[in-house]
Amino acid sequence: MREIGIGLLGAGWMGDLHSASYRRVRDHYPECDALPRLVVAADEVEARAREAVDRLGYERSTTDWRAVLADPDVEAVSITAPNFMHREMALAACAAGKHFWGEKPLGRFPHETAEIAVAAEAAGVRTIVGLNYRHAPAVRHAHALLHTGEIGEASQFRCHFLAGYANRAEGALSWRFLREYAGFGVLGDLMTHAVDLAQYLLGPIVRTTARAATLIPRRPRAPMGSGTHFSVVEGGELADVENEDWVGALVEFETGLNGILEASRVAVGPDCRYTFEVNGTAGALAWNFERMNELSLALPGASGDFGYATIYMGPGHGDFGRFLPGTGIPMGYNDLKVTEAYLFLQSVADGTQREPGVREMLAAAVVVDAMARSCESGAWEDVRPDALGADSR
């Protein structure tokens, strides 16, 4: 077993979650060849940086994230700062030879994601990216069923990520709503997850036509670094939302299959309704993150009855058994991040790149780029893996 020194770049909620996940890896993946040592945490807000020592278990803290990368005790870092810092941090990590676990979308725009991916490949660093929904046992089971032909040939696909965290006009104008800091809005945030899951399940998307809208055009200002995109400000000074709230797209897969993808951060009703449904020539399957531990499966029965049945996840599905002993006891969101932490630490320990890393993030980013170009042109746009459009900047 090898000790791996960990640095944290950004001590907000996701930084907390990464830190807790590192500590939990040995409980759920005892065979892991790495022992994480939480060395130093950085945040520009000094109180948050100090709290990472007092509460999260880091040995020391700093307000200078570059000092983390310069620390000889740090071998790997978590990049959990806002989007506008991803590019600079990731490129600096590559230059310093530090492996990184980064949150999506790894940059504000697809061309920044591409730059990071190229640098990581050139530097030979191991990476994992926070496309965590693909680790849900029900999603893993759906992937297996699709690839063994259990429902026949896929003929229809729909995926929706409908969130309600910003559905009130009083929701604070956090950095997520400003183009300079977030880049794309829901296109880079939630649609990235939908694209990754679509391609994980059904293979590469080759072209798309998309439309976008900003449904709440003005929001009350909030001091940078205070609150979150869930915060509400009553009676504040209003300012313009600079990126999109809603995106809908038709996509064509390499296989010729057509699909529908939709993402919203202002949906009234759903809180976090991340769903997909695949209809095949011999059956169908469907999943909803709000019921993360259930997979709906429709297959013809011996009696001739046909319809969806609920499959409850248990120790025989994906990594479920690493967390809970029996079917029907639900796993949660935080458990998916523990799986990510394991994949990252094991990749660093044995030098074998696991998925999803920068390659998978880039595969989603090039589709997002095509969607952005289509929103501008109003036409079908090809996915261009080797040439990201300048208009995504």
In this prediction, residue 387 has a pLDDT band, given cuts at 50, 70 and 90, of low
On whether the CB atoms of residues 88 and 106 are closer than 8 A, the answer is no
Instruction: Count each helix (H run) and each strand (E run) in the chain, helices first.
Output: 10, 17
pLDDT tens for each residue of 162-219: 999 999 999 999 999 999 999 999 999 999 999 999 999 999 999 999 999 999 999 9
Q: Are 8 and 152 contained in the same domain? A: no
Backbone angles phi, psi at 364, to 5 degrees: -75, -40
- For residues 166 and 126, membership in a common domain is answered with no
Q: Do 127 and 149 fall into the same domain?
A: no
Q: Tell whether 144 and 106 lie within a shared domain.
A: no
Residues 98 and 143 in one domain: no
Q: What is the CATH number of the domain that holds 297?
A: 3.30.360.10
Q: Contact, 70 vs 39, CB < 8 A?
A: no
Domain of 116: which CATH number?
3.40.50.720
CB 15, CB 43: distance < 8 Å: yes
Q: Which of 132, 154, 178 is the last residue before a domain boundary?
A: 132
Q: Is the same domain home to 19 and 94? A: yes
Task: Kindly state whether residue 389 falls inside one of the protein's structural domains.
Answer: no
Structural domain range at position 300: 137-291+293-331
pLDDT digit string, tens, across residues 34-63: 999 999 999 999 999 999 999 999 999 999
Helix/strand/coil (H/E/C) assignment for every residue in 33-51: CEEEEEEEEECCCHHHHHH
DSSP string across 149-191: TTT-SEEEEEEEEEE-TT-STTB-B-GGG-HHHHSSSHHHHHH
Q: What pLDDT is stored for residue 227 in this prediction? A: 59
For residue 265, being part of any structural domain is answered with yes
Question: In this structure, are 92 and 155 located in the same domain?
Answer: no
Answer for the pair 193, 161: CB distance below 8 angstroms, yes or no.
yes
C-alpha to C-alpha distance for 229 and 236, rounded to whole angstroms: 15
Q: Is residue 390 in some structural domain?
A: no
| 185 and 311 inside one domain | yes
Q: Residue 267: which of 288, 243, 239, 247 has the closest Cα?
A: 247
Tell me how many domains the chain contains: 2
Query: At residue 341, what are phi and psi to the nearest 5 degrees?
Result: -60, -40
> What are 288-339's pLDDT values in tens digits?
999 999 999 999 876 677 889 999 999 999 999 999 999 999 999 999 999 9
What are the tokens at 227? 């609150």
Whether residue 110 is contained in a domain is answered as yes
Q: Looking at the structure, do residues 84 and 125 belong to the same domain, yes or no?
A: yes
- DSSP state at residue 258: E
Q: Are residues 263 and 143 in the same domain?
A: yes
Instruction: Of 27-31, 225-229, 258-262, give the lowest mean pLDDT range.
Output: 225-229
Average pLDDT over residues 91-119: 97
229 part of a folded domain = yes
Q: Are residues 193 and 315 in the same domain?
A: yes
- Which domain-ending residue is among 132, 163, 185? 132
Residue 161 lies in a domain: yes
Q: Is residue 372 part of a domain?
A: no
pLDDT grade for 223, boundaries at 50, 70 and 90: confident
Position 380 in a domain: no
Which of 132, 152, 169 marks a domain boundary? 132
Locate tokens 């890393």: which residue?
A: 357
Listed in sequence order, the residues at least 6 apart from 181 whose beta carbon sits closer than 8 Å to its beta carbon are 82, 83, 84, 108, 175
* Same domain, residue pair 152 and 230: yes
pLDDT at 392 over 50: no
CA distance 186 to 247: 7
